[in-house]
A and B are shown apart, each in its own frame.
Chain A
Amino acid sequence: MGLDLLTYILFATVMAGTPLIIAGLGELVTEKAGVLNLGCEGMMSVGAVAAFAVAYSTHNYFLAVIAGLGSGMVMSLLFAVAALTLMASQVACGLALSIFGVGLAAFIGKPLESMSLVAGKPVPIPLLSRIPILGPAFFQQQALVYFSWALLAAVAWFLYRSKPGLVLRAVGEAPVSAHAIGYRVVRIRYLAVMFGGAMAGVAGAFMVLFYTPLWVEGMIAGRGWISIALVVFSTWRPVRVLVGAYLFGGCMIAQMFVQASGVQLNIPAQFLSALPYLATILVLVLISHNRSSIRLNSPASLGQPFLPDV
């Protein structure tokens, strides 16, 4: 009984952490280029609604994920035009995107709220899924879970082993210098923002297709914001995004732990639901306190507008 519970907990943690990994890595790439996009929540919401709508009408989950990806990217373009081309404050534009995206998703999704979807089928990996405890937990997961791991490897390789990744990091560090050398800072930032939007959209799609196969207004419930906090927590290093995502994921299913374990606690459900948010605050405090580490790892130009002098 205990071992089954452990498997179950690991499985649920991975599921809960996956959208955070995907959205978090997208935001990490955006921030590495020096752009702070606070609109994650809005992009995830719209991605989720789009994916749900496509899945409901075509029953093709792959297409649905693509729809999520595309709509997240389109939403991020709104931010990019306002913040990069029209040079408005990045913080304000990100907030605008969050508010608009959540509202738009609620509006579009109203007729979808009573619909239900069949949850996507997991894809077991042969051999690996036979390992006791760890097998069913990690290797009998949804395809997007494996995607999240592949994404981590790809982003890490891109940033630290490829020339375009080096260029992106240089742009985030000193856009004026990059411009003086001849790199198109605004174009590179557009691409980074669009990647972030695409990933946020995929994360939203994961939520509605595989995590809880339905759509309700507000179901993203702050995961977009937690993904942003995750990037800070990871001090802008990809591998730490994974660690943090699973930690938060664990907090999110704390309620499930308690129920599944059968332990009788007199804690109201809302207290357990508050856990991920409180954990986010705690983690931010712990990480931010080390100013030296932040200074060394955060992209130096993060959040500042770039005004090219042509």
Chain B
Amino acid sequence: MWLKFEQRTEPSPLMSYLSPAFAVGLMLLSGMALFFVLGRSPIAGFRIFFLNPVKDLYGVSELLLKATPLMLCAVGLSVGFRANVWNIGAEGQFLMGALAAGGVALHFPNSTSPFLLPGMVLAGALGGMAWAAIPAWLRTRFNANEILTSLMLVYVAQLAVSWLVHGPWKDPEGFNFPQTQMFQAKALLPVLVEGSRVNAALFIAIAALAIGWVFMNRSFLGYQMKVAGQAENAGRYAGFSSKRTIWMGMLVGGALAGIAGMSEVAGPVGQITEHISPGYGFAAMIVAFVGRLTPIGIFFSSLLLALLYVGGEQVQQYLGLPSAISNVFQGMLLFFLLASDVFINFRLRRMARRQ
């Protein structure tokens, strides 16, 4: 007897919802196995990684804080992914947005204008957009694969940050540490709840989710991008501009990643350093996939991946394991999701062995 995959006549909507749940379950099981192999109690590992972070209100607020940039980036990425525009450089666009917004803050260290903060948001968006415009232009004009170009620019962006905080933007009173001055109070996002660090960026993120939903499901431009992503020749047949699709996909991703970058440096970090992103741009890709490229799914999956980040920190503190364990969990989650997705379009059938 052997098993074979047989294509379903119609994709199973039930499996579309169950598949992420399976993936999470498999990830949890593998995680516990991992803890066991590393000589730690699986139950304790599970508790510290997954339950500790949300055991009090402050923990929940930290979760929302980490989820915010993920949400922002992932919505932007999902617009592009649905259209087969693979923006892998969100991490770089995040950094450039942070630099642009931070640049504004550093340039006006004593300003009391109410336009400072909105100006920083705008600068963040523009910075991210500008960085994403490069792969967009190279793709539309020269047919250069946007996966590789946007990714190369991530490394360039990281080096740009490194140069600035080691050089021209280094805080003169910073004891020679590679960091900028702290931003003044007016250049920081207002905190939403006393005693937590959750700030106004959360509103922007939720607004982005809502606008994203309307755009993708109700607008004609969103429809055109969906067609381009599913059947390129049909898009051409319809006369939908593939160039517009590519530009939209990249620029929206870049803008939102840039705002996410701004929200980090004008939020919990409060300055620019070499470590403003623990890989948000890459984690956001996982958020987008696990969230099935829909705003509602992204909301939940960003909370899940935020949990993975915070859990990693907890595990480092209490179990002495490297915090890179978050990345291991993230990667496992994505793999398990891709694997269990097969059941959306296929079912397993038993085949009798041939004599």
Q: Which residues of A contact B (CB under 8 A)?
A: 38, 42, 78, 81-82, 86-89, 91-93, 95-97, 99-104, 106-107, 110, 217, 221-222, 225, 228-229, 232, 268, 270-271, 273-274, 277-278, 280-281, 284-285, 288-289, 291, 294, 307, 310
Contact A103 B331 (CB under 8 A): yes
Q: How far apart are the CA atoms of A107 and B322 in the complex, in Å? A: 6
**Hey, which chain A residues are within 8 Å of B321, CB to CB?**
107
Q: Among the listed A87, A277, A285, which residue makes an inter-chain contact with B138, where contact means beta carbons less than 8 Å apart?
A: A285
Contact B327 A99 (CB under 8 A): yes
- Chain A proximity mask over B52-95: 1 for CB below 8 Å, otherwise 0: 00000000000000000000000000000000001010000000
Nearest Cβ on chain B to A68's Cβ, whole angstroms: 19
Q: Among the listed A99, A222, A271, A280, which residue makes an inter-chain contact with B330, where contact means beta carbons less than 8 Å apart?
A: A99
**Hey, which chain B residues are within 8 Å of A95, CB to CB?**
88, 285, 334
Contact A101 B331 (CB under 8 A): yes
Known contacts A86-B338, A107-B322; A277 and B156 CB within 8 A of each other: yes
Contact B152 A278 (CB under 8 A): yes
Q: How far apart are the CA atoms of A86 and B155 in the complex, in Å? A: 32
Known contacts A82-B338, A96-B335, A106-B322; A281 and B328 CB within 8 A of each other: no
Known contacts A270-B163, A273-B159, A289-B143; A87 and B149 CB within 8 A of each other: no
Say yes or no for B342: interface residue by CB 8 A criterion: yes
Complex: chain A residue closest to B148, CB-CB: A229
**Hey, which chain B residues are within 8 Å of A281, CB to CB?**
138, 144, 148-149, 152-153
Q: How far apart are the CA atoms of A184 and B334 in the complex, in Å? A: 28
Report how many A-B pairs have Cβ atoms within 8 Å.
135
Using C-beta atoms within 8 Å of the partner chain, give the interface range for chain B: 35 or more
**Hey, which chain A residues are within 8 Å of B289, CB to CB?**
92
Chain A at the B interface: SS class: helix
**Hey, which chain B residues are within 8 Å of A288, CB to CB?**
142-145
Nearest Cβ on chain A to B348's Cβ, whole angstroms: 11
Q: Which residues of B contact A (CB under 8 A)?
A: 4-5, 7, 86, 88, 138, 142-145, 147-149, 151-153, 155-156, 159-160, 162-163, 166-167, 282, 285-286, 289, 321-322, 324-328, 330-332, 334-335, 338-339, 341-342, 345-346
Known contacts A270-B163, A285-B138, A289-B142; A107 and B339 CB within 8 A of each other: no
Contact B160 A110 (CB under 8 A): no
Q: How far apart are the CA atoms of A100 and B145 in the complex, in Å? A: 23
Q: Among the listed B152, B156, B330, B346, which residue makes an inter-chain contact with A225, where contact means beta carbons less than 8 Å apart?
A: B152
Nearest Cβ on chain B to A98's Cβ, whole angstroms: 9
